[in-house]
Structure 1
Amino acid sequence: MHPNDVPKSYDLTEAGDRYFDGLADKFSRSLYQAPRGELRLAMLDYLLPQMLLLNEQNVLDVGGGLGQQTAWFAKRGHKVTMAEPSKDMLSYAQQWHHDDPTLPHSSITYRQASLQDLPPQAPGPWSLITCHAVLEWLGDPQAALANLSDLLAPGGQLSLMVFNRDALRFSNVVKGNLEKALSDRLEGKGKRQRLTPISPITHNDIVQWSAANGLKIDAVAGIRVFQDYLRHPPATPAEKETLLALEKQYCRQDPHWRLGRYLLYTLTKPESPE
Structure 2
Amino acid sequence: MDQNNHSLFADRVDRLEKNVYGSVKGQIRLALLEQDLREYCPEYTSCSLRILDIGGGSGRFARICANQGHSVLLLDSSEEMIRRVSESLVECGPVGNIGVTHQDFMEESCVFSEQFDLVLLHGSAEWMSSPEAAIVKACGCVRSGGYLSLLVFNKDRLTFKRGINGMLLQEKAQSSKKINTLTPPGAMSPDDIIKILTKYPGKMCSKSGIRIFHKFFRQGVSEQVLTPEEWLQQEQLYFRQEPFASLGEHTHIIWQAKS
Task: Answer yes or no: same fold by TM over 0.5.
Answer: yes
Q: Secondary structure of 1:267's match? A: strand
**Paired residue for 1:79?**
71
Given the alignment of the two structures, is residue 261 of structure 1 paired with residue 252 of structure 2, yes or no?
Answer: no
CA deviations 1:222-265 (Å, max 9, x no partner) are 100111324233214x5433322110011111111110001111
Alpha-carbon distance between aligned partners in 2 of 1:187 and 1:162, rounded to the nearest angstrom: 17
CA deviations 1:135-167 (Å, max 9, x no partner) are 111221111111112211111100000000011
Task: Give the stretch that moved more between structures: 129-138 or 222-231.
Answer: 222-231
**Paired residue for 1:229?**
216
Contact 1:219 1:265 in 2 (8 A): yes
1:64 to 56, 63, 66: 56
Counterparts of 1:34-53 in structure 2, within 5 Å, are: 34-53=23-42
**Paired residue for 1:141?**
131
Amino acid at match of 2:211: R
Give the Å deviation of 1:12. 4.2
Amino acid at match of 1:268: Q
Q: Secondary structure of 1:229's match? A: coil
Give the Å deviation of 1:217. 1.1
Alpha-carbon distance between aligned partners in 1 of 2:32 and 2:141, rounded to the nearest angstrom: 26
**Paired residue for 1:8?**
none
Task: Give the stretch that moved more between structures: 256-265 or 191-200.
Answer: 191-200
Identity %: 25
Alpha-carbon distance between aligned partners in 1 of 2:41 and 2:114, rounded to the nearest angstrom: 19
Alpha-carbon distance between aligned partners in 2 of 1:190 and 1:12, rounded to the nearest angstrom: 18
Counterparts of 1:184-263 in structure 2, within 5 Å, are: 185=172, 187-188=174-175, 192-230=179-217, 231-236=220-225, 238-263=226-251
Alpha-carbon distance between aligned partners in 1 of 2:141 and 2:248, rounded to the nearest angstrom: 28
Q: State the number of aligned residues.
A: 253
Alpha-carbon distance between aligned partners in 2 of 1:17 and 1:127, rounded to the nearest angstrom: 30
Change (3 A) 1:188 1:141: farther
Amino acid at match of 2:12: L
Give the Å deviation of 1:38. 2.3
Q: Secondary structure of 1:99's match? A: helix
Unaligned runs of 5+ in 2: none
TM-score (norm 2): 0.89
CA deviations 1:183-237 (Å, max 9, x no partner) are 6x1645599533111110111111111122334211111100111324233214x
Give the Å deviation of 1:171. 1.4
**Paired residue for 2:158?**
168
Q: Secondary structure of 1:154's match? A: strand
**Paired residue for 1:154?**
144
Give the Å deviation of 1:118. 7.6
Amino acid at match of 1:84: D
1:91 to 76, 79, 83: 83
Contact 2:58 2:85 in 1 (8 A): yes
TM-score (norm 1): 0.84
**Paired residue for 1:7?**
none
Contact 1:119 1:151 in 2 (8 A): no
Q: Secondary structure of 1:178's match? A: coil
